[in-house]
Amino acid sequence: MMTVKSSSLGYPRLGEKREWKRALESYWNDGSSKEELLATTKELRLASLQKQADAGIDKIPSGDFSLYDHVLDTSVTLGIVPERFKYTDGEVPLETYFAIARGNKDAVASEMTKWFNTNYHYIVPELDNARPQLTFNRPLFYYNEAKNELGLETKPVILGPISYLKLAKGYEEDQFETLLTALIPVYVQIFAELEAAGVKTVQLDEPYLVLLTDKKELNYYKKSIAAFKEAAPSIQLILQTYFERLDHYEAILELPADGFGIDFVADHGDNLRSLLQFGFPEDKILAAGIIDGRNVWRSNLKDKLALLTLIQANVPAERLIIQPSSSLLHVPITVAHETTFEKTLVNGLAFADEKLHEIVLLTKAVRDGVSSIQTELDDSFEKYTALQKADFRNNQTVEAELTSIQGEEVNRALPYAERILLQHEALNLPLLPTTSIGSFPQSAVVRQKRAAWKKGNLTEADYRSFIKEETERWIDIQEGLDLDVLVHGEFERTDMVEYFGQQLSGFQASTFGWVQSYGSRAVRPPLIFGDIAFEKEMTVEETVYAQSLTEKPVKGMLTAPITILNWSFVRDDITVDKVANQIGLALRKEVLALEKAGIGIIQIDEPALREGLPLKEERWKKYLDASVYAFKLTTAGVKNETQIHTHMCYAEFDDIIDTISALDADVISIETSRSHGDIIEAFEVHTYDKEIGLGVYDIHSPRVPTAEEIKQNISRALQVFPPEQFWINPDCGLKTRHESETIDALKTMVDVTKEIRKAYN
């Protein structure tokens, strides 16, 4: 008898204690062989599959695992490799795979950008001269591995061709259908081989479907899905979407898929309204994403059961799948290792494993009745309620501060055109000033010292002394390189968001709450669990010490409200705007403390501003207005002579250039080199009136850029910006790079800048 099923859409790759990351980096650093890397990652992959099976998940995904990025996996599966990597045919070698992602001595890496509005980065496919071919049936390999090694019947996960093309570059809009036509036979071959192997269900991820505006484009989806069903008629094909609502709901449900995965969490209630208004096809499966796949809080299971009751009024249990709203790639693996958390907080959390448990509970409730989970339901609701009522979520002092700023003016005293003249006089910098973004390499010694200090094996005094020594060493290095504006290096910080989360009230840093950002880069987003308040100075001591070592200006370095918000797991009981303003008020006190201590340049980074932009354009203005307000709340109190910098990561800046200007930062730096200069086109059609630095070399790649590459990037920018407006800097912070490559790259950058300056003397 058919009944409701539970499902997962994807599981984190890192390993509970970042075993995946260590295996990759050991291989990259020649500490282990390819065979050892593949053996370790296979062990992790199989353990993750078995864990989901043991949890009681009915439909377990396979092929969601990756050695770097699932979009890159799709590219090499389809034989789409940029020509500069000298690939011919056959299975793409592992060395080539990693070269596309990281670059090598002969070729720059492919562009990397954000996966929709998340902090996960994917490798952008390059379709110039693409000739699609099936190099290796990756979904089939992972399906067979799970079946042969564990006896598990899994659900292969495949990134669909339309989303793949929409996420790619290197073609004109009128070439889209031709490229899709070339891709479909390769996908057809994949599906045919999966059916021959006995695959029962395939999860075809088409997340771009939530961005569909032109209803005519549904023909692309219809064409591809019809081809796949013809090639593999016995496979149950679930068309999976996530991150937003489906426009053209009724038309989408006419597509020839066997079922549809729909997000009922990040849809603002719109998908549910569509379901209740238009119903659901009687011959289709609904894979309902009702557990939040992107945040970490325990669900109110009573609310979820009420939602399921509404859904079941339109979709009977035998055609219902209960699952997360998205892949669990975006959350940590398990709460089990967070042994230092306060009890109310830890009981209020649900990481990936705990979310799977919630899904299984809800599935059982639908299958066997609510009474079958009553004990677990009552326990979960009690823990959920305790978190909402906790004192740390009801801080009256913070509430009074927020009330007091309502209607407050948050502009600088003088407009930019007037205050920049005062800043030039105070700073006396050369034309095309050089600087770095903030962090310098965190060597093994730095990490060892921090770990020893945290474990109590190094005294506070000895740790502070070491930080000062490292700061002094890098001030000397920067002066030797002849950079114009220096930084203290951030050796005391593990992460640009986590560091502040460790020092502001209302935040909790996790121990093993790691999430993949890009490649082996893992971050631990802090948990914003309560009201946020400033407690003590956070950066003043280190910055003032660095400034005491040099006559050159040293930047104070902070992370801005929206980036802290977007790179944290944010409480979901109040609006995000209110949380952002709490952060802005707290950071304002730190900014004023830096200024009072004599720091004349303060950089307040907003790299995640664009990535948080809602996927639906109708929601943009509210988000952007709130972002500008929170940033200006942080900066508006400083003197005119204090120069405010900010930094942003690469994105489609055409959408937000007006917002960037509205932040009213005196200088902005933007990550651009991986876009190969494409971003400059945005500034050719939009006038930007403040000072700016467009990153002149890529810090995500271990290769040292050539002088000619940097010169080309600077010269391209100077075709758009006058030299008086332009700064020279790397793309991003240098924390993840090795010391030698960092010094060599910065030296090249400074030498090229000095050469270019001569043309203006």
Q: pLDDT tens across 492-503, in order? A: 998 888 889 889
Residue 691 is assigned to a ligand binding site: no
Angle separating helix axes 352-368 and 34-55, nearest 10 degrees: 30
Residue 20 is assigned to a ligand binding site: yes
Q: What is the pLDDT of residue 191?
A: 98
Q: Per DSSP, what are the bridge partners of residue 410?
A: none
Residues with catalytic annotation? 700
Residue 298 is assigned to a ligand binding site: no
Residue 444: other Cβ atoms inside 10 A: 8
Q: CA distances (Å), 353 to each of 295, 379, 515, 568, 643, in order?
A: 13, 17, 14, 19, 46
Q: What is the pLDDT of residue 651?
A: 58
Residue 453 is assigned to a ligand binding site: no
Residue 567 is assigned to a ligand binding site: yes
Residue 616 is assigned to a ligand binding site: no
How many helices (H) and strands (E) the chain has is answered by: 27, 21
Q: What is the pLDDT of residue 655?
A: 75
Residue 122 to residue 120: CA distance in whole angstroms: 7
Please name each of the domains of the chain with its CATH number.
5-68+128-391 (3.20.20.210), 401-437+482-492+532-758 (3.20.20.210)
How close are the terminal C-alpha atoms of the chain, in Å?
83
Query: For the segment 170-208, what is each residue's pLDDT rounded down to a tens digit?
Result: 999 999 999 999 999 999 999 999 999 999 999 999 999
Residue 454 to residue 463: CA distance in whole angstroms: 10
Q: What is the pLDDT of residue 379?
A: 97
Q: What is the pLDDT of residue 698?
A: 82
CA angle 556, 561, 564 (to 5 degrees): 90
The residues of the chain scoring below 50 in pLDDT are: 1, 676
Residue 83 is assigned to a ligand binding site: no
Q: What is the pLDDT of residue 678?
A: 64
CA R_g for the chain: 26
Q: Which residues contact 350 (CB under 8 A, 6 or more apart)?
A: 291, 296, 297, 298, 299, 335, 357, 358
Residue 583 is assigned to a ligand binding site: no
Residue 692 is assigned to a ligand binding site: no
Which regions of 325-411 does DSSP assign to beta strands (E)? none
